[in-house]
Amino acid sequence: MIVEERSVEEIFRSGLIGDLPRWARWAALATALLALPSGIWRIGVALGLTLGHTDDGRRELVGDGAAGPASMIMISLLTECAALLALGLVQRWGRSVPGWVPLAGGRPVPRRGVLAAAWTGVAVTAAAGTPFAAWWALPHDGMTATGALVVGFAHLPLVFWAPLLAALTLDFQRRTRPDARKGERPPG
């Protein structure tokens, strides 16, 4: 069997929507990666590494039982999954359910549902990410000075999540307007 080698760029482009601006492709990729540094940090702390905390600071953050580490890992996974959903605003699967999905494959994704979820995501990420812009102005008990710096840089990308997602959502909204598609009414 001959396996065709394709670059990440070729794989990503193969699922793109045709009328997509170049900036939107890069913004979607960036948005999908923004949660990664803080997620990696969170998983490291959950696995027992101090990663900038004193021993007491880590224990206060995570707790002594298994629930603390498990919840930190779950938050990291859910956050990254939410960040990956930004790709749906530029990929075909944001407009129609992939064929391999049982019972729903090939059906259009309701435009209003996509927009409602995306705008809700903008509000949530703005509320959650914006405070990290002031990270260095706040005291951090239970952390070393270097640790506060590292944790700040790991979480700083979250500040950019809401504006990038808002730009992608506006672009999706513009591209899927009924009058933007030659009179064709978009699904939903």
pLDDT in tens, 166-177: 999 999 999 988
Percent of the chain predicted with pLDDT > 90: 49
Predicted TM-score (pTM) of the model is: 0.80
Residue-level pLDDT at 83: 94
Mean pLDDT of the chain: 85
Residue 90 near residue 25, CB atoms below 8 Å: yes
Does the structure show a pLDDT above 70 at 126?
A: yes
13-38: average pLDDT: 83
Dump pLDDT digits (tens) for 30-72.
Answer: 999 999 999 999 999 899 888 888 888 888 888 878 888 999 9
Residue 1 CA to residue 52 CA, distance in Å, equals 49
Does the structure show a pLDDT above 80 at 2?
A: no
Residue 11 — very low, low, confident or very high, per pLDDT cuts 50/70/90?
very low
Residue-level pLDDT at 186: 52
Does the structure show a pLDDT above 60 at 159?
A: yes
Residue 162 near residue 122, CB atoms below 8 Å: yes
Domain extents in the chain: 20-94+105-175
Residue-level pLDDT at 4: 59
